[in-house]
Structure formats: C-alpha cells, structure tokens
Structure 1
Amino acid sequence: MAMMPKRVKYRKSQKGRVKGNATRGNYVAFGEYGLQSLEPGKISAATIEAGRVVASQSVKGGGKLFIRIFPHKSVTSIPAETRMGKGKGEVEYWAAVVKPGTVLYEIGGVSEELARATLARVSHKLPVACRFVTRRPTL
C-alpha cells in the first residue's frame, strides 16, 4: 500500500519550488550503500513503493533496505475538461519533495556488486537521475 501521512493539519498544500541542494539527509547513515538523487523533483508514494518492491525482490531476503524519504506533500488535480473556477482540485496522490543530494534508498548486509545492481534497478523506476554512493569511513 502506498505511503501517506497519518494526519495532516491541512489536506491541500501549495505547489512550492524545489530550490538549492540538500543539507540534511545527504549522506549514507544506516546501510553501507545508498542511492543519491542528482536533480530536484517530486517522487510519488507509488513510485517509492515500486522501488521498495524491486529492491526486496532483488536482494531476496538477504540484507536490509532503508527508505530515507517520505511523501509528506499532497498533490492535487482537477478532472480533465473541467471549466475554470470551482476551486482547487482533490488530492490525487502524496509525494516526497527531493533536492539534489538527498539519499533516497540505502541497503546494507549485501555485497557491493549486489547493492550496485539492486540500486540500479531501483533508479530505473525513479523520475530523477541518481548515483550510487557508499558510506564514508568514520574516524
């Protein structure tokens, strides 16, 4: 089932603009390998779920997958061939706002080759360009 917030203060949110690079959530924190976005965009809850399904099929029970993004933003739309006016449309889907540098998925407990192949399959599902990143060594 697609992710969405349990409750929100306001059902409908304004569009907004995605400006700048990610300053938080821009490094691998939980697993050993990650998938980092290279461009801004909105990723729908259905797309996040599709990536999760592909990753879980690819690792076949071995390793652990971490999803680092959550769809907090509601995206509305008006039905096709509707006249102007009559207010803002109903909520169509929920989306995660992604800045360049945000780590989207992380994977741990698998070899680098399997992680690279898995995250490559996940990146094909996403509407933003991504790159494979590894955890920084801690001192």
Structure 2
Amino acid sequence: MNLFPKQTKFNKYQKSRIKSCLENKSIKPRFGFFAIQALEQCKLTSKQLTSIQKILQNKIKKEAKVWLRCYPDIPVTKKPTEVRMGKGKGSVHQWIAKIPKGKIIFEITGKNHNFIKKVLNNCLNKLPVKTIIITKLDKIK
C-alpha cells in the first residue's frame, strides 16, 4: 500500500530545491490537537510515510483520527545497475514528498492524550529526520 498519485502532468521531473516553509498554514496544526513537525528539511519516501500510517492505524484503531499533511507526488527515477551511459532517463523508481523545515507531517486528534503522545513517540523513531510533537496550544515562534 504505497502512496503515489494516479496521474501527473509529466511522467518524470527534474530535480529541484526544497522551498522554505513560509506560509503559516503548514506550521500550525489545523485539523488535529497533536502534530508531528519536521525540524529540518528532508525528502520522505512513500514507504516511510505508509509505515508510519500503518503504525498509527494499528495502535490507535478507532480511538483517534489521523491526517496526512504531506503527500509523495514527486517521482524519482533510477537506471538499473550495469547499464551504459546515455540512452535517456531511467524509469520511475520511487515517489517522494519534499518536506521543508517546520512543515507538519501528521496530525492526530482524540480523547486520550497520554496514549496518543506515547504512540507518536514511537512514530518519531521511524522518520529519518529530526521531528517534534507539537500541540494546538503551543506558541509558534
């Protein structure tokens, strides 16, 4: 169950830089009470996001609601090993989501706040980037 879009404007994209997260929409939690926020920029693959989503669905079940705030919509191409130079760009290997510094990755809301915090702490270890758990009540600097 990997995440990827059904259709894109182009099959393959060029590499680009990760733009800074200046808009306030992605810095504060909008839907849930708790959120996982990235402290540095990175590229998350669809496999990493689905693994966290599965952990949240298995542990929380129907006690809370989960929102995914970033979506892997950028294809990354790769040529097979032992292929000579030239002959065009490789086929799509994986899908990534570009995460700027300060962007919220997941949001959760539910009644049992202590249980949700424990589950989110387990999820932070799966991510290859420094992250923090924030709440709606936290003041944004």
How does the TM-score come out when normalised to structure 1?
Answer: 0.91
- Whole-angstrom distance in 2 between the partners of 1:127 and 1:61: 27
Q: CA RMSD in A?
A: 1.5
Q: Which runs of 5+ in 1 are unaligned?
A: none
Contact 1:22 1:102 in 2 (8 A): no
Structure 2 partner of 1:127? 128
User: What 5-or-longer segments of structure 2 have no aligned partner?
Assistant: none
1:37 offset after TM fit, Å? 0.4
Query: Do the aligned partners of 1:77 and 1:91 also contact (CA within 8 Å) in 2?
Result: yes
Residue type at the aligned position of 2:73: H
Identity across matched positions, percent:
31
Aligned length: 137
8 Å CA contact 1:45–1:94 kept in 2: the answer is yes
Any idea what SS the aligned residue of 1:125 has? coil
Q: Aligned partners of 2:59 and 2:22: how far apart in 1? A: 28
Q: Give deviations 1:65-101, integer Å, cap 9, x for gaps.
A: 1111111100111111221111111001111110010
Between the aligned partners of 1:60 and 1:4, the Cα distance in structure 2 is: 24
> Secondary structure at the residue paired with 1:49?
helix
Look up the match of 1:60: 61
Q: Using the alignment, how far apart are the partners of 1:34 and 1:134 within structure 2?
A: 6
Provide TM-score, normalisation by structure 2.
Answer: 0.90
